[in-house]
DNA sequence: GTGATAATTGGAATAATTCCAAGTCGCAGT
DNA sequence: ACTGCGACTTGGAATTATTCCAATTATCAC
């Protein structure tokens, strides 16, 4: 998927929600797509500034919030750490590597999701399920994680 | 399990970690056991004050942290909301009811945990798994959740 | 172009938690 | 019982991530 195709998809999603496409929103989204390492708002801010030196942190927060509302990006939280942002739209869990601090995407087979819904007692209706692993990942796993796949 | 048995268990765990049993720690733990509704630190503070009017919020935070370290209590986070505390030691997921704001414990069958570990690629070693459902629960489910069971 | 509306901006405010330095308590050894 | 020492508690200051706000600036429809 080319850059202009992503840009197109963004404009479309924004328009669908009655929102405008702006340079700030474009660049924030582009930055998330370029390096999918679950950056924090601060990290996004730093990356975006090299392209839009006058953008404010408040705007980065606004843009990220907008992208989450449009379902183009997921907000991810570990404990009380700063919120991280993930443009991977496939159903996936997160593996938080305690030694490196890195976050890896773990694809979720549909069977797992249906099995999880089965453990809910009568009357519980889940709209979303979030799964977080915490532990260590071997070096070699750098390239084995599902993270960089393009849906 | 009687109150004094819980108190005994607490002293034991604390001693195991080279820590002392104090009135503050006792009452914080008792409060968590008495009403298992996943209270925040502030809520614990309010409940403890009726018994120990001079306790400080800092001490409540300290005690909660200690109980978590001793594995008598789990810290639970939803998004960026305040940390909640749960004395249920069985393996369980959390169901966050968006309309009531209430949190329900959902028992996790061991089979689900082993299946979840199976989806991890080579080289990923998970020390813990956290599962959070978000949605709505029917009134009737008030009494069907696993929450009040005693292990 | 002009006006209405949406978006951005810098800085102040907020909320939860942690930090810190001072006081207090509990206990081991005398 | 007394003393000393480390553990614990306390109030308030500091921290951190995020949100709020009021003022500007940009965008779109007409
Ligand atoms: Mn992290
Ligand atoms: Mn909640
Ligand atoms: Zn992700
Ligand atoms: Zn629980």
> What predicted TM-score, i.e. pTM, was given to this entire model?
0.91
Convert the pLDDT of each residue in B125-135 to its tens digit: 999 999 999 99
Checking each nucleotide's C1' against the CA of B59, the nearest proves to be D9
Q: b/e map of B87-125 (b: 16 or more CB within 10 Å)?
A: bbeeebbbbbbeeeeebbbbbbeeebeeebeebbbeebe
State percent of chain A over pLDDT 90: 79
CATH of the structural domain B3-76, one choice from 3.10.180.10, 3.40.50.150, 3.90.420.10, 1.10.10.10:
1.10.10.10
Ligand 1 mean position to A2 CA, how many Å? Answer: 30
What per-residue confidence (pLDDT) applies to B148? Answer: 47
The whole-number average pLDDT for the span B92-116 is: 96
- Using 50, 70 and 90 to split pLDDT, how confident is the model at B146? low
Classify domain B90-148 by CATH number: 3.30.1490
* Residues A8-26, mean pLDDT to the nearest whole number: 90
Residue of higher predicted confidence among A6 and B27: B27
What is the arithmetic mean of pLDDT over A1-9? 77
Taking contacts as CB-CB distances below 8 angstroms, the residues of chain B near A116 are 112, 131, 133
> Per residue in B58-72, pLDDT tens?
999 999 999 999 999
Average pLDDT over chain B, rounded to an integer: 91
Supply the pLDDT for residue B106.
98
- Six-digit token pair at A81? 């750490």
Residues, beta carbon < 5 Å, ion ligand 4: B 86, 88, 105
The reported pLDDT for the residue numbered A148 is 47
Share of chain B above pLDDT 90, in %: 78
Q: Which residue is nearest to nucleotide C25 (CA to C1')?
A: B22
What pLDDT is attached to residue B142?
Answer: 56
Edge-to-edge order in the sheet of strand A92-97 = A103-107, A92-97, A124-137, B124-137, B92-97, B103-107
Is the confidence at residue A75, as pLDDT, over 50?
yes
Assess whether pLDDT exceeds 50 at residue B141.
no
pLDDT tens, A123-145?
A: 999 999 999 999 999 876 455 55
Per-residue model confidence (pLDDT) at position B140: 64
Cα-to-chain-centroid distance, residue B56: 21
Residues of chain A in contact with residue B74, where contact means CB-CB under 8 angstroms, are none
Ligand at shortest distance from the CA of A101: 1
> Which of chain B's residues have a Cβ under 8 Å away from the Cβ of A121?
106, 141, 144-146
B101 sits in the region (left: phi over 0; alpha: psi -120 to 50; else beta) called: left
**Sign, Cα dihedral of B17, B61, A77, A109:** positive
Locate the domains of chain B by residue range.
Answer: 3-76, 90-148
């Amino acid at each position: 998927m080319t850059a202009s195709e992503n840009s197109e998809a963004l404009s479309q999603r924004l328009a669908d929600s009655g929102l405008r496409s702006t340079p700030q929103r474009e660049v924030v989204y582009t930055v998330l797509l370029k390096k999918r390492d679950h950056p924090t708002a601060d990290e996004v801010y730093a990356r975006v500034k090299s392209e839009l030196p006058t953008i404010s942190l408040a705007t980065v927060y606004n843009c990220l919030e907008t992208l989450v509302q449009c379902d183009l990006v997921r907000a991810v939280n570990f404990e009380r750490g700063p919120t991280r942002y993930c443009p991977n739209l496939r159903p996936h869990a997160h593996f938080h590597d305690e030694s490196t601090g890195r976050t890896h995407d773990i694809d979720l087979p549909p069977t797992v999701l249906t099995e999880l819904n089965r453990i809910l007692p009568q009357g519980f209706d889940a709209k979303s399920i979030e799964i977080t692993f915490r532990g260590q990942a071997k070096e070699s796993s750098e390239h084995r994680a599902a993270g960089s796949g393009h849906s």
